Amino acid sequence: MNELGVSPNPGQDLDSQLRHALEEAGWRYTRQRAAVYQFLHSTTEHPTAEEVFSTVRQTIPSISLATVYKALEALVDAGVAAKLSSTDGPARYDCRMDSHYHVRCLQTGRIHDLPTPFDPALLDKLDPKLVESLERQGFHVTAYRLEVVGYFPEK
């Protein structure tokens, strides 16, 4: 980082972060995983495996869809990406690892990040005894998720 807080070489920073995270979790650093990670970071959409595949293919033409799936699994396991569920259609992947909220389009399945600041105390505000009560019942609370659902304009 320089005095402006901007990395002079964001690609290299990402690479060393990735290498570290992968090694920490017992995975090897490979160019396929690096390319998948870079692409996830370059987009604000939350792409599907197929979307990752067709983009990364432009850089590494020999990459296979199976390798993309395995790379995404490694990234999730290494804690640098998250898998987002959907009722219909394929899973989507997110590499913003700070807690944040999503908007989901029920028509297209697309997901975007919300700019709204994450409120760590939201569950307590909803019900001060909620987490305590769940833990007492043996459920270990690790997080909460909130998403706004609706429809994007017709395209």
Where do contacts with DNA occur on this chain (CB under 7 A)?
Answer: 19, 27-33, 48-50, 60, 62-67, 69-71, 73-74, 88-91
Q: Binding of a second copy at residue 142 (CB under 8 A)? A: yes
Query: Could you say which DSSP state residue 120 is in?
Result: T
H, E, C per residue of 14-76: HHHHHHHHHHHCCCCCCHHHHHHHHHHHHCCCCCEHHHHHHHHCCCCCCCCHHHHHHHHHHHH
Q: Please, what is the minimum distance in Å from the beta carbon of residue 86 to DNA?
A: 8
The item of a second copy, DNA, none sharing an interface with residue 66, based on CB under 5 to 8 Å by kind, is DNA
Q: Is 136 in the site for a second copy (CB under 8 A)?
A: no
CB of 73 or CB of 131, closer to DNA? 73
Separation of first and last alpha carbons in the chain: 40
- For DNA, which is the closer residue by CB, 65 or 148? 65
Per CB under 8 A, contacts with a second copy among 37-96 are 83-87, 91
Tell me the C-alpha distance between 71 and 11, whole Å: 18
